[in-house]
Amino acid sequence: MRELVLNCLQSEAEALSDALLEAGVLSVCVEDADTDTEAERPLFGEPGLEPEVQAWQRNRIVALLPDGADPAQILAQATVESGVAPDPAWSLREVPDADWVRLTQSQFGPIQVGRRIWIVPSWHRDDPQIPAPAETREEGAVRLELDPGLAFGTGSHPTTHLCLEWLAEHVAGGETLLDYGCGSGILAIAARMLGTGRTWAVDIDEQAVQATRDNARANGVELQALLPDELPAGLSQLVVANILSSPLKLLAPMLSGRVEPGGHLVLSGVLERQAEEVAQAYAPWLELRVWRARDGWVCLHGQRH
């Protein structure tokens, strides 16, 4: 396969990318044309904050071509549709053959979280070095089979580890639980395997909701995976949200209002320097404190009285 490589200005990147896709390329990637030079500039700042224009001052567009495609024809069509003057210095480069499935899988190995939780991708299901399901049950642990999918949540991020550790140390059994912003469903599924009772998993992304349902089914777990407007009224003994500080602050009234008296609220996706600001957003309803920190991230916990 081949890639079409060309340069454009910040104001042209989005229109040209869309036009290339309309012209038939398989994928488009926009890169900083000044990467590895003194002119290189970061595009994103604080996590959760997106720039108004998702492009750099000077951009390199890399478009993957279908086999047999005429790059000059595709570029001509894209420039007409986008109104962007064609880059006379465009070039082609070969894409080496690779087993992309195997390459992707190699990035995700088994993960042990604390003493009680194993996250095992399906291609490591029969790995002799990983405790079998029966062994984990005998040791009071759980083995969660989870594949990377379209939703966030492979179990590798420190914020996910922190939430999983809190659940492993505090789920007594039978508690109702709400996982808000469930992504792949990893927290809700782990909680059910640790012994929670009725469990809801909610996300604004339909693909995340479906990924949660699929992963729950693969692990033999029953839970309710829903979009926010489908979540029934009611309180939960445990409410968990691993998102980012900005949406967590906006969701403070709703998430606090979902915790039953005596129940617990667990939040992550928060940098250490953001912890006090997030805690202040929840102060009218409950007191949040840092439960544990890792690699610059924190897990906040509070109990509603």
Domains of the chain: which residue ranges? 2-97, 151-303
CA distance 281 to 21: 42
Residue that the structure tokens 């033999």 belong to: 220
Annotated binding site: 160, 181, 203, 242
Q: Which fold has domain 2-97?
A: Alpha-Beta Plaits (3.30.70)
Q: Which fold has domain 151-303?
A: Rossmann fold (3.40.50)
- Closest to 9 (Cα-Cα) out of 54, 59, 51: 59
Asked if domains 2-97 and 151-303 share a fold, the reply is no
What pLDDT score does 46 carry? 46
CA distance 3 to 93: 5
Do the bridges between strand 259-271 and strand 236-242 make them parallel or antiparallel, or are there none, so unpaired?
A: parallel
Share of the chain above pLDDT 70, in %: 88
Flag the least confident range among 22-31, 70-79, 154-163, 275-284. 154-163
Q: What is the pTM of this model?
A: 0.68
φ/ψ (deg, to 5) at 139: -90, 5
CA distance 158 to 163: 9
Please say whether the beta carbons of 120 and 145 come within 8 A. Answer: yes
Annotated binding site for S-adenosyl-L-methionine: 160, 181, 203, 242
